[in-house]
Amino acid sequence: MSETVLRKPAVLASARGGRRLRPEGDRSALARMVIACLCLVLAATIVFSLAFGASDASVLSVVKTLIAGTDAADNGLSVRDRIIIYDIRLPRVILGALIGASLAVSGAVMQGLFRNPLADPGIVGVSAGAGLGAVSIIVLGGTFLAPMIALFSLYALPLAAFFGALIFTLVLYRVATRRGQTSIATMLLAGIALGAMAAAYIGVLVYIADDKQLRDLTFWGLGSLAGANWVKIAASGPLIALALVISPFLARGLNGLALGEASASHLGIPVQRFKRIAIVTVAAATGASVAVSGGIGFVGVVVPHLLRLVIGPDHRYLLPAAALLGASLLLIADAVSRTIVAPSELPIGIVTAAVGAPFFLWILLRRRGILDL
Amino acid sequence: MIRVSNVSVSLGRSRIVEHVSFDAEAGAFCVIVGPNGSGKTTLMRALSGDLPHEGVISINGVPINRLKLWQMASMRAILPQSTSLSFPFTVREIVKLGMTSGRSGAARHNVETLPDEALERVDLAGFGGRFYQELSGGEQQRVQLARVLCQVWQPVLDGQPRFLFLDEPVSSLDIKHQLIIMQIARDFADRGGGVIAILHDLNLTSMFADRVVVMHKGRADSVGTPMEVLTDDRILRVYECALKVGGLPGKSVPFVLPQSATF
């Protein structure tokens, strides 16, 4: 066809500051730039989190240690600081980053799957399902679930949470979706019912729990990164890593699904198989996160929403950007939770809910129309 | 060629389409007409591979239930009646989705400019940066057509004809854009591809179609050229409406036929 017509300025964005011409409406260059920036932000947040706390090792000496390794004598860190950084802060930072990333990614995948921006594992009851799985292991692990623990040892808790999340996601999808269309109202109502159901069963389990189990449950249920250690990373890390590795491969399918199930399959996407993979991914990311840190709400709805405003909903960019921003934000929230009531610390779930819930209301206020879909 | 032979489709227990047979050749514009509830859309969904069917539907000689989804995606593209989105995609991002699967057949150097070319085709040049959700229904429909065109940009690829399925492509459009869309479909057929469209407008049908399939109560009442098919008694029987083909209104009423357009 006529190429000369295409080059006319109405179609292409005007050159800004001598930069390469990009067609109007193409946000991929912006998205790549945002992702690069988010990489830097995450790196800075990690270093800051390692250096920041009751024992004030300087940022510089922390960076030196990280580069030179523990054995280098001349890195300006005392033995005490080294232990604090390697055995307390580093696992906490790694776990925080993994969980932040997995919460944000599971939110983004779920929103793409249900084709609506309000779907979030915490809001529609999937986290509650994961919680039910986790509580079952904590309370019944000594009795009739003992073979599970013998078989899976430290993986039993995250796996139970994963299956809890998986079952709840499947039920939710079954109830809320009919002939390839998801009703937002039905989804939210089903989420309320699932959340109530999980709360009831958890209540029963709490009632029969003994004193030690009650203490475990309380610590777990606060939604906290406190007590992060290498064992917890070994237990939940693989499931989270698996979900994070799978997620980029979901991008094309989620983009197609935005057009509706029929159109997605007309584009050549195997929709049924794709949905199964996406649901398992959401369940793995949510289950593993909940198993370690309890309920940390609103990261999954706030992070993708903010990113869509800037780089658009193309999942090829949205998913990695959500992982990076989710990790950074959770580390910042953790820093706040460690210091705001120092020397004690606030559960991080309280921090994310305090900021995230008003933000969620703001989304609702701006986009009330979507509920009428 | 799309060959539909003895195809029946059931939804639940009720049989919606019964024993329909027709051919839609490459190079021809085939239009399916019929009253509401006559089974047009169900037939189209079976052709698209969305519904199980009895009988045989084949594309270029291969039954569609032997084709993988990605293979079908490179042989035909489908324009749905309407598409609403819940995420803020730009028009250009939507059109580019048509290029993520299938094979547009555009030359490599053309790939970057293809979305703009497609938008220009549907009279939406310069709309690339707008948000899809902010467009009117008719504009959204044309954006979707641009996306669908990107999926099968070349009507013939590797010697095989490709097909456009259009489900009521002009239902939400003004008369100018109705004509533009019909021209695009006509042009696709003239360049060697095949088109199957569901239409309600009998005037546009008689103007553009090579072959008309009249659906009535789930069956193909008749298949033929517009001249053969559009008769007074058939319209009375199928649409239950006493109309006179070629009849003119009384002098006091203005009437505008698409046939009077000069291109």
Using the Cβ of A107 and the Cβ atoms of chain B, whether some distance falls under 8 Å is answered with: no
Partners of residue B79 in chain A, C-beta under 8 Å: none
Q: Cα separation of A238 and A247, whole Å?
A: 14
A73 has pLDDT over 70: no
CB contact under 8 A, A1 and B48: no
What is the pLDDT, as a whole number, of residue A10?
36
At residue A21 the predicted structure's pLDDT band, cuts being 50, 70 and 90, is low
CB contact under 8 A, B125 and A11: yes
Nearest Cβ partner for A116 among B78, B80, B86: B86
A273 and A172 within one domain: yes
CA B145 to chain centre: 10
**What are the tens digits of pLDDT across the range A106-139?**
999 999 988 888 888 888 888 899 999 988 888 8
φ, ψ of residue B166 in degrees (nearest 5): -120, 120
A191 and A60 within one domain: no
At residue A76 the predicted structure's pLDDT band, cuts being 50, 70 and 90, is low
In a domain, A337, yes or no: yes
Split into its structural domains, chain A has a count of 2
At residue A22 the predicted structure's pLDDT band, cuts being 50, 70 and 90, is low
Partners of residue B98 in chain A, C-beta under 8 Å: 267
Partners of residue A260 in chain B, C-beta under 8 Å: 80, 83
User: Are A300 and A110 contacting, i.e. CB atoms less than 8 angstroms apart?
Assistant: yes
User: Are B137 and B79 contacting, i.e. CB atoms less than 8 angstroms apart?
Assistant: no
What is the pLDDT, as a whole number, of residue A343?
77
A90 has pLDDT over 60: yes
In a domain, A32, yes or no: yes
Chain B interface, best mutation among A21, A267, A310, by max B CB count within 10 A: A267
Nearest Cβ partner for A11 among B48, B128, B151: B128
A349 and A246 within one domain: no
Chain B interface, best mutation among A116, A249, A259, by max B CB count within 10 A: A259
In a domain, A142, yes or no: yes
Nearest Cβ partner for A266 among B48, B89, B113: B48
Parse chain B into domains and list their residue ranges: 2-75+158-260, 85-151
A327 and A255 within one domain: no
Q: Which domain holds residue A308?
A: 27-77+299-363
Phi-psi region of B102 (alpha: psi -120 to 50; beta: other; left: phi over 0): left
A219 and A146 within one domain: yes
Q: Which of the two residues, A31 and A338, has the higher pLDDT score? A: A31
What is the pLDDT, as a whole number, of residue A9?
38
3-state secondary structure of B232: helix
Edge-to-edge strand list for the sheet holding B62-63: B14-24, B2-11, B54-59, B62-63
Chains A and B: how many Cβ contacts under 8 Å? Answer: 114
Using the Cβ of A310 and the Cβ atoms of chain B, whether some distance falls under 8 Å is answered with: no
For residue B106, give the chain A residue with the closest CA.
A1
* Residue B228 Cα, gap to closest chain A Cα (Å): 33
A218 and A122 within one domain: yes
Using the Cβ of A13 and the Cβ atoms of chain B, whether some distance falls under 8 Å is answered with: yes
What does the pLDDT average to over A185-197? 88
Using the Cβ of A308 and the Cβ atoms of chain B, whether some distance falls under 8 Å is answered with: yes
Partners of residue B125 in chain A, C-beta under 8 Å: 10-11
A371 has pLDDT over 60: no
Chain A interface, best mutation among B67, B75, B87, by max A CB count within 10 A: B87
Cα separations in angstroms, B33 against A325, B167, B172, B261? 52, 11, 17, 22
At residue A80 the predicted structure's pLDDT band, cuts being 50, 70 and 90, is confident
Q: Which of the two residues, A79 and B82, has the higher pLDDT score? A: B82
Using the Cβ of A17 and the Cβ atoms of chain B, whether some distance falls under 8 Å is answered with: no
A77 has pLDDT over 90: no
In a domain, A370, yes or no: no
DSSP B35-95: -TTSSHHHHHHHHHTSS--EEEEEETTEEGGGS-HHHHHTTEEEE-S----SS--BHHHHH
A58 and A36 within one domain: yes
**What are the tens digits of pLDDT across the range B142-191?**
999 999 999 999 999 888 999 999 999 998 899 999 999 999 999 999 99
A128 and A173 within one domain: yes
Q: Percentage of chain A surpassing pLDDT 70?
A: 84
**What are the tens digits of pLDDT across the range A343-363?**
778 888 888 888 888 988 888
CB contact under 8 A, A308 and B88: yes
What is the pLDDT, as a whole number, of residue B141?
94
Partners of residue A256 in chain B, C-beta under 8 Å: 97, 100-101
A1 has pLDDT over 80: no
Q: Which two tokens stand for residue B86?
A: 């819940």
Nearest Cβ partner for B93 among A10, A25, A115: A25
A14 has pLDDT over 70: no
Q: Cα separation of A242 and A277, whole Å?
A: 12
- Burial classification of residue A147, based on how many CB atoms lie within 10 Å of its CB (0-12 exposed, 13-18 middle, 19 or more buried): exposed
The reply to whether omega before A343 is within 30° of 0 (cis) is yes
Query: Which stretches of chain B score pLDDT less than 70?
Result: 101-102, 107-109
Q: Cα separation of B48 and B65, whole Å?
A: 10
A207 and A286 within one domain: yes
User: Mean pLDDT across chain A, nearest whole number?
Assistant: 82
What is the pLDDT, as a whole number, of residue A52?
75
Q: Please name the residue that has the structure tokens 């270029």.
A: B60
| DSSP letter assigned to residue B174 | -
CA A361 to chain centre: 20
Q: Cα separation of A319 and A342, whole Å?
A: 35
In a domain, A83, yes or no: no
A37 has pLDDT over 90: yes
Lowest mean pLDDT among A76-90, A296-310, B139-153, B215-229: A76-90
CB contact under 8 A, A268 and B102: yes
Q: Cα separation of A108 and A247, whole Å?
A: 10
Partners of residue B92 in chain A, C-beta under 8 Å: 23-26
Which of A259, A280, A295 is the last residue in one of the domains?
A295
What is the CATH classification number for the domain harbouring A252?
A: 1.10.3470.10
A370 has pLDDT over 80: no
In a domain, A201, yes or no: yes
A248 and A145 within one domain: yes
Fold of B2-75+158-260: Rossmann fold (3.40.50)
In a domain, A96, yes or no: no
User: Are A301 and B112 contacting, i.e. CB atoms less than 8 angstroms apart?
Assistant: no
ipTM of the complex: 0.92
In a domain, A108, yes or no: yes
Which of A266, A295, A324 is the last residue in one of the domains?
A295
* Residue B32 Cα, gap to closest chain A Cα (Å): 20
Where does chain B show beta strands of DSSP type E? 2-11, 14-24, 29-33, 54-59, 62-63, 76-79, 156-157, 160-161, 163-167, 194-198, 211-216, 219-224
Using the Cβ of A203 and the Cβ atoms of chain B, whether some distance falls under 8 Å is answered with: no
CB contact under 8 A, A27 and B90: yes
| DSSP letter assigned to residue A54 | S
Q: Which two tokens stand for residue A133?
A: 């799985």
Edge-to-edge strand list for the sheet holding B163-167: B76-79, B163-167, B194-198, B29-33, B211-216, B219-224
CB contact under 8 A, A252 and B130: no
**What are the tens digits of pLDDT across the range A147-163?**
777 777 778 888 888 99
